[in-house]
């Protein structure tokens, strides 16, 4: 367990230090900040469009972080031969594979958590309109989180040589937690009013489902990275991601009559399970039963992919 913990921590830190990790998070936060302004240019329900834009941004952010991070987690170790040193400690191969999966999953979960808080703040702020009262508690808290994260990261980078980007992400996660807790009790008028805090359970459930989809992609990337390089793994994961979004259309309608469709539906994850666009426009709630079923589906798929990765890695020549 100690070896698993150390390798998981190292993988988590290495993932946070990747430039693409910070770039994707910053891009997502910028999109979430401007989404209230974009949602006002619609003839339909502005708030529904705002919610769909935010969840779509969160969906793509988590999936791209999962694809890029997981693709290089093991492939780079094998290409650079650093894996030989690790396995000679000795570290059992299943422990090594499991640590890579857990380390990348924690990094994806952190990015997803930060962007989810930004999504909740964006939805609470509502569609940008001159007739709507400004939510000054939210604006001040959001600004304080950003400024405090940047200033403290610069201080730690200058004083202790900590990497700026990864430190800023970790601090943003901590400060954003305190910020959203404060906003969950304070309304737009600085009054203690938890019942009207602008935070909807629907958005939290939607975020949880999208996180499950991202972890599924991590497990798939792990399988490909055991035998293929980073470029091939990236291409394969993007292909599986696109197929997963149209699984019902591609495989579902032919599953009753064609064997290839049954196999494809069984192998390719159905990512539509984790996307709740229909519920947004229909105004329906997400029942707890649906969350449990989706989580069970994701857990079974993840366990299968991690087990397959371990089995494949047992025969992989790394020396």
179-218 pLDDT per residue, tens = 999 999 988 888 888 888 878 888 888 899 999 999 999 9
Q: Helix, strand or coil for residue 218?
A: helix
Q: Is residue 69 part of a domain?
A: yes
pLDDT of residue 171: 95
Residue range(s) defining the domain that contains residue 52: 2-314
CB-side neighbour CA atoms (13 Å) of 108:
34
209 by DSSP, 3-state: which? helix
Say how far residue 283 (Cα) sits from the centre of its chain.
Answer: 25
pLDDT for 306 equals 93
Specify the higher pLDDT residue, 192 or 37.
192
Sign of the Cα pseudo-torsion (174, 27, 123, 190, in order): positive
User: Tens digit of pLDDT for each residue in 85-101?
Assistant: 777 777 788 888 899 99
Cα separation, 256 vs 208, whole angstroms: 31
The confidence score (pLDDT) of residue 46 equals 66
Q: Please say if the pLDDT value at position 118 is more than 70.
A: yes
The yes-or-no verdict on residue 107 having pLDDT over 90 is yes
Domain count, the chain: 1
Measured distance CA(244)–CA(237) in Å, rounded: 10
In a domain, residue 298? The reply is yes
Residue (of 188, 175, 149, 189) closest to 26 by Cα position: 149
Q: What percent of the chain shows pLDDT beyond 90?
A: 35
Residue 319 domain-assigned (yes or no): no
Among 80-84, 152-156, 181-185, 220-224, name the one with the lowest average pLDDT: 80-84
With respect to residue 310, please indicate whether it lies within any of the assigned structural domains.
Answer: yes
Q: Which residue has the tokens 């807790």?
A: 181
- The encoded tokens of residue 119 equal 């999504």
Within a domain: residue 186? yes
Where are the strands (E) in 6-94, listed by range? none
The CA-CA-CA angle for residues 227, 230, 232, to 5°, reads 70
Least confident of 168-177, 246-255, 268-277: 246-255
User: Over the chain, what is the mean pLDDT?
Assistant: 85
| Mean pLDDT value of segment 292-301 | 94
Confidence of residue 266 (pLDDT cuts 50, 70, 90): confident
The better pLDDT of the pair 310, 91 is held by: 310
Pair of tokens at residue 56: 């779509």
Q: What DSSP designation does 134 have?
A: P
Relative orientation angle of helices 230-245 and 201-227, to the nearest 10 degrees: 140
State how far the Cα of 95 lies from the Cα of 101, in Å rounded to an integer: 10
Burial environment of residue 195 by CB neighbours within 10 A (0 to 12, 13 to 18, 19 or more): exposed
Write down the pTM of the prediction: 0.91
Q: Is the pLDDT of residue 52 over 60?
A: yes
186 bridge partner residues: 192
Residues 124-181 pLDDT 10s: 887 765 556 778 899 999 999 999 999 999 999 999 989 999 999 999 999 999 999 9
| pLDDT classification of 219: cutoffs 50, 70, 90 | very high
Assigned domain for 97 exists: yes
Cα 72-176-73 angle, rounded to 5 deg = 5
Contact 184, 124 (CB under 8 A): no
């Amino acid at each position: 367990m100690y070896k698993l913990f150390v390798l998981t921590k190292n993988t988590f830190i290495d993932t946070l230090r990747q430039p693409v990790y910070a770039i994707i998070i910053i891009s997502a936060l910028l999109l979430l900040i401007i989404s209230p302004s974009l949602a006002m240019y619609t003839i339909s329900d502005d708030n529904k469009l705002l919610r769909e834009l935010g969840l779509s941004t969160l969906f793509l952010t988590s999936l791209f972080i999962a694809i890029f991070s997981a693709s290089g987690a093991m492939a780079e170790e094998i290409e650079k031969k650093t894996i030989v040193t690790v396995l000679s400690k000795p570290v059992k191969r299943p422990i090594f594979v499991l640590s890579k999966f857990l380390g990348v999953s924690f990094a994806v979960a952190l990015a997803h958590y930060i962007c989810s808080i930004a999504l909740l703040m964006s939805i609470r702020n509502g569609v940008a309109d001159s007739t709507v009262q400004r939510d000054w508690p939210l604006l001040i808290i959001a600004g304080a989180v950003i400024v405090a994260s940047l200033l403290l990261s610069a201080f730690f980078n200058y004083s202790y040589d900590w990497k700026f980007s990864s430190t800023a992400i970790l601090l943003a996660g901590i400060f954003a937690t305190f910020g959203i807790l404060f906003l969950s009790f304070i309304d737009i008028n600085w009054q203690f009013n938890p019942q009207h805090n602008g935070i909807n359970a629907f958005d939290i459930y939607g975020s949880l489902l999208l996180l499950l989809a991202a972890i599924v992609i991590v497990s798939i990337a792990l399988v490909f990275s055991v035998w293929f390089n980073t470029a091939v793994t990236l291409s394969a994961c993007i292909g599986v991601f696109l197929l997963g979004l149209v699984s019902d259309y591609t495989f579902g309608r032919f599953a009753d009559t064609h064997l290839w469709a049954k196999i494809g539906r069984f192998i390719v994850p159905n990512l539509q399970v984790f996307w709740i666009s229909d519920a947004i426009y229909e105004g329906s709630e997400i029942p707890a039963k649906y969350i449990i079923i989706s989580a069970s589906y994701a857990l079974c798929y993840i366990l299968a992919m991690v087990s397959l990765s371990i089995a494949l890695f047992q025969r992989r020549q790394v020396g």
